[in-house]
Chain A
């Protein structure tokens, strides 16, 4: 017998438990109860995560491509349009208009017409009023006359092939329209193209969000590391006191904090007043530190700093001071001892703090909205706008989906470079 077969049950049969059942079966039975109990214990969390996290994200992903409203509101029109070639400059035929009439009669009854109008207005301006107008138009229509001319009489937009092209392009159950829009692209007669220069915004915002979040994370690390280091080396009483100061931003309402930043940073604010008083800055050249990217960076750094300090602190707290002493006793000066012995051991805290800060930063929108002006707003501000103001939830979902993809990609990169197991929150 070779080593490989050692540890296997004796030749001629399985191991049996005392009652004669095979040992494996008996073990599985004993474990089943345990597993069941474990499952039961985590089930509330599982359910919670499913309901509040997985389902909404799934819903969001779905909404970013969902286009059900067009085929379900205009079923006959969509079918009739299949034979029409959108490349021609001719209008679709009478059957399409007849189908449109039938569909709209039902739609108006269900009040689905304006919502459809809103949906299509994202792709072609004017659909909104066109669809609101049909309520009035339909009343005056005579079913015995051809609908084509009646529709065009009622609103000349129905005679514009572009309207029909839009309808045909967006007649599927699913659409890439929102995602394309979120990438500053659009679908034209000549295929998918970038939007005109002056209408591009999202890619720029994505890039800015990433760059500024990285910058803020880096500043947090720069400022937070020495503080965490100090906290970890101070006696517990003092460090707790300073920790309270660190956590103070958490306890202050966002509006109070923002107001405080305004008082400090605005052009007639405290910092500018002091600089002018010191003669460092001319009175008519006061620094612009708020309502721009600087304002966002300062305020966000302030808010996110605790998220950097806490994991750093808890990791550093676990590094015994004897390591630094050992390094020094071995001949390393302060810097070498720090850089070669202390810092590598604090890396898990740096990783955790950086990931926390970065992920929180790219999702922030209230602070940038309040102090970011135009050059300091993030992609999330656009998402919030489309959720609550423009009500273009499809586009909001598409933007959020892209943001999620970007975050996952960065996470994957991080895992590749640093290793995600090298992250410690405490």
Chain B
């Protein structure tokens, strides 16, 4: 597991790797298009990308960037663009599973990582530096993010008890109050089974049987009437901040914002966070000039320093092992970001990694079952 490898690097904090990456190491770009359309998620995440990647790149090269906040529908829209024969996107930010789909269907371009990407600051090859993050031949990872729980620290009914385990979410007696969960089966089923006595190792074997799914839903039944189901990532933090729920699952960066930026009485429960990658894909068959520009940008934007820079604006872990030691302080808050990274060793004593393959096979069937269960 490359996470361990990354952690190894993360421990070496403080090594004075040259923050002096600058214009001179940008490769000249001949015959490149002057503009790029980049697709991302909007919000704080896109801002962090603009600050860390596109602004410095635009200053150095004069390239104009157009941002399209369509990442949550990227596969559908890109597929539609290919069907219409008019691909307008140059670079698309997607989550791991979506990249798999696009790559499988030939909508994303395979990348020769070692040729296209810059080697790590420590001299490692890109393939080694990104490690297991290279989940398919099209995907260039940027960050690790995790989905985990936050809880309110001011619930009177808890009588001073503090949740320490994932299974406290399912403990209505000790920790009464509403929960916010995503309106999707992914992650919820895994968490439910883990708290129903299934071990991490046999998790997907159990889930692969119809009985396993029923067992997970039965566990979820115990908190169903106390659960608010969210569909947009911003909802759970808001519900927590509004005191509408006492537990809420969401992306760790969103919880960071609630805790450190808005100073709400909320804390992180780092038990069994679920890891996912987010990264770039390049649409297949781009015209040469646009492709050349994208490749030039990618080499710049995914180098060791740039990936580390992104953590100044958002608490997601850089996907390169060599970037880990360079993670510094938050650009505005001035706090050390390393402890807030999902990849911080203290935060990942228990964790899961999104099982893309299993979900690709079972998504349709399990989703139908889950939605039917929700409406009952």
Q: Contact between A111 and B104 (Cβ–Cβ < 8 Å)? A: yes
Q: Contact between B361 and A126 (Cβ–Cβ < 8 Å)? A: yes
The residues of B that contact A291 with a CB separation of less than 8 Å are 228-229
Q: Tell me the A159-215 residues at the B interface (CB within 8 Å).
A: 198-201, 204-205
Given contacts A267-B244, A268-B243, A391-B76, contact A114 B104 (CB under 8 A): yes
Q: Contact between B373 and A198 (Cβ–Cβ < 8 Å)? A: yes
Q: How distant is A382 from chain B, measured CB to nearest CB, in Å?
A: 7
B372 at the A interface (CB under 8 A) = yes
Q: Contact between A266 and B362 (Cβ–Cβ < 8 Å)? A: no
Q: Tell me the B322-376 residues at the A interface (CB within 8 Å).
A: 357, 360-365, 367-369, 371-376
CA separation between A328 and B363, bound complex, in Å? 67
Q: Contact between A373 and B360 (Cβ–Cβ < 8 Å)? A: no
Q: Tell me the A369-395 residues at the B interface (CB within 8 Å).
A: 369-370, 373-375, 382, 387-392
The residues of A that contact B77 with a CB separation of less than 8 Å are 388
Q: Contact between B375 and A370 (Cβ–Cβ < 8 Å)? A: no
Given contacts A291-B229, A392-B364, contact A382 B371 (CB under 8 A): yes
The residues of B that contact A382 with a CB separation of less than 8 Å are 371
Q: Contact between B232 and A370 (Cβ–Cβ < 8 Å)? A: yes
CA separation between A70 and B243, bound complex, in Å? 51
Q: Contact between B371 and A128 (Cβ–Cβ < 8 Å)? A: no
How many A-B residue pairs lie within 8 Å, measured between CB atoms?
A: 83
CA separation between A224 and B325, bound complex, in Å? 63
Q: Tell me the A321-380 residues at the B interface (CB within 8 Å).
A: 369-370, 373-375
CA separation between A382 and B360, bound complex, in Å? 19
The residues of A that contact B368 with a CB separation of less than 8 Å are 199, 201
Q: Which of B231, B364, B376 contacts A390 (CB 8 A)?
A: B364
Q: How distant is B127 from chain A, measured CB to nearest CB, in Å?
A: 19
Q: Contact between B231 and A199 (Cβ–Cβ < 8 Å)? A: no
The residues of B that contact A369 with a CB separation of less than 8 Å are 231
How many interface residues does B have (CB within 8 Å)? 37
Q: Contact between B371 and A201 (Cβ–Cβ < 8 Å)? A: yes
The residues of A that contact B369 with a CB separation of less than 8 Å are 198-199
Given contacts A111-B106, A201-B375, contact A266 B244 (CB under 8 A): yes
CA separation between A262 and B244, bound complex, in Å? 10
B27 at the A interface (CB under 8 A) = no
Q: Tell me the A218-271 residues at the B interface (CB within 8 Å).
A: 262, 266-269
Q: Which of B104, B242, B363 contacts A266 (CB 8 A)?
A: B242
B171 at the A interface (CB under 8 A) = no
CA separation between A110 and B75, bound complex, in Å? 19
Q: Tell me the A125-147 residues at the B interface (CB within 8 Å).
A: 125-129, 132
The residues of A that contact B105 with a CB separation of less than 8 Å are 111, 114-115
CA separation between A208 and B363, bound complex, in Å? 25
Q: How distant is A156 from chain B, measured CB to nearest CB, in Å?
A: 14
CA separation between A373 and B72, bound complex, in Å? 20
Q: Which of A129, A198, A390 contacts B357 (CB 8 A)?
A: A129
A411 at the B interface (CB under 8 A) = no
CA separation between A146 and B373, bound complex, in Å? 45
CA separation between A306 and B75, bound complex, in Å? 36
CA separation between A268 and B268, bound complex, in Å? 22
Q: How distant is A127 from chain B, measured CB to nearest CB, in Å?
A: 8
B73 at the A interface (CB under 8 A) = yes
- Select from chain A the residue with minimum beta-carbon distance to B180: A291
The residues of A that contact B364 with a CB separation of less than 8 Å are 121-122, 125, 390, 392
Q: Contact between B367 and A374 (Cβ–Cβ < 8 Å)? A: no
B79 at the A interface (CB under 8 A) = yes
CA separation between A132 and B361, bound complex, in Å? 10
Q: Contact between A201 and B360 (Cβ–Cβ < 8 Å)? A: no
Q: How distant is B42 from chain A, measured CB to nearest CB, in Å?
A: 12
CA separation between A267 and B226, bound complex, in Å? 13
Q: Contact between B73 and A268 (Cβ–Cβ < 8 Å)? A: no
B101 at the A interface (CB under 8 A) = yes
B215 at the A interface (CB under 8 A) = no
Q: Tell me the B229-283 residues at the A interface (CB within 8 Å).
A: 229, 231-232, 238, 242-244
The residues of B that contact A390 with a CB separation of less than 8 Å are 363-364, 367
Q: Contact between B229 and A373 (Cβ–Cβ < 8 Å)? A: yes
The residues of B that contact A199 with a CB separation of less than 8 Å are 368-369, 372
Q: How distant is A110 from chain B, measured CB to nearest CB, in Å?
A: 8
CA separation between A262 and B369, bound complex, in Å? 29
Q: How distant is A238 from chain B, measured CB to nearest CB, in Å?
A: 38
CA separation between A192 and B243, bound complex, in Å? 48
The residues of B that contact A118 with a CB separation of less than 8 Å are 101
B183 at the A interface (CB under 8 A) = yes
Q: Which of A110, A266, A269, A374 contacts B374 (CB 8 A)?
A: A374
CA separation between A266 and B241, bound complex, in Å? 12
- Select from chain A the residue with minimum beta-carbon distance to B77: A388
The residues of A that contact B228 with a CB separation of less than 8 Å are 291, 373
Q: Which of B106, B232, B375 contacts A374 (CB 8 A)?
A: B375
Q: How distant is A72 from chain B, measured CB to nearest CB, in Å?
A: 15
Q: Contact between B375 and A204 (Cβ–Cβ < 8 Å)? A: yes
Q: Contact between A128 and B372 (Cβ–Cβ < 8 Å)? A: no
CA separation between A101 and B108, bound complex, in Å? 26
Q: How distant is B44 from chain A, measured CB to nearest CB, in Å?
A: 16
CA separation between A266 and B376, bound complex, in Å? 23
The residues of B that contact A204 with a CB separation of less than 8 Å are 375
Q: How distant is B98 from chain A, measured CB to nearest CB, in Å?
A: 10
- Select from chain B the residue with minimum beta-carbon distance to A131: B104
The residues of B that contact A129 with a CB separation of less than 8 Å are 357, 360-361
Q: Contact between A205 and B375 (Cβ–Cβ < 8 Å)? A: yes
Q: Contact between B231 and A388 (Cβ–Cβ < 8 Å)? A: no
- Select from chain A the residue with minimum beta-carbon distance to B374: A374
- Select from chain A the residue with minimum beta-carbon distance to B365: A125
Q: Which of A132, A268, A389 contacts B244 (CB 8 A)?
A: A268
- Select from chain B the residue with minimum beta-carbon distance to A126: B361
Q: Contact between B76 and A125 (Cβ–Cβ < 8 Å)? A: no
| A/B interface sample: 6 pairs, CB < 8 A | A115-B104, A121-B360, A132-B104, A268-B244, A373-B228, A388-B77
Closest 6 CB pairs of A and B: A114-B104, A111-B106, A201-B372, A388-B73, A374-B374, A388-B76
Known: A198-B369, A268-B242; 17 extra A-B contacts, CB below 8 A, are A111-B104, A121-B360, A121-B363, A199-B368, A199-B369, A201-B368, A201-B375, A205-B375, A262-B238, A267-B178, A370-B232, A374-B375, A388-B77, A390-B364, A391-B76, A391-B79, A391-B101
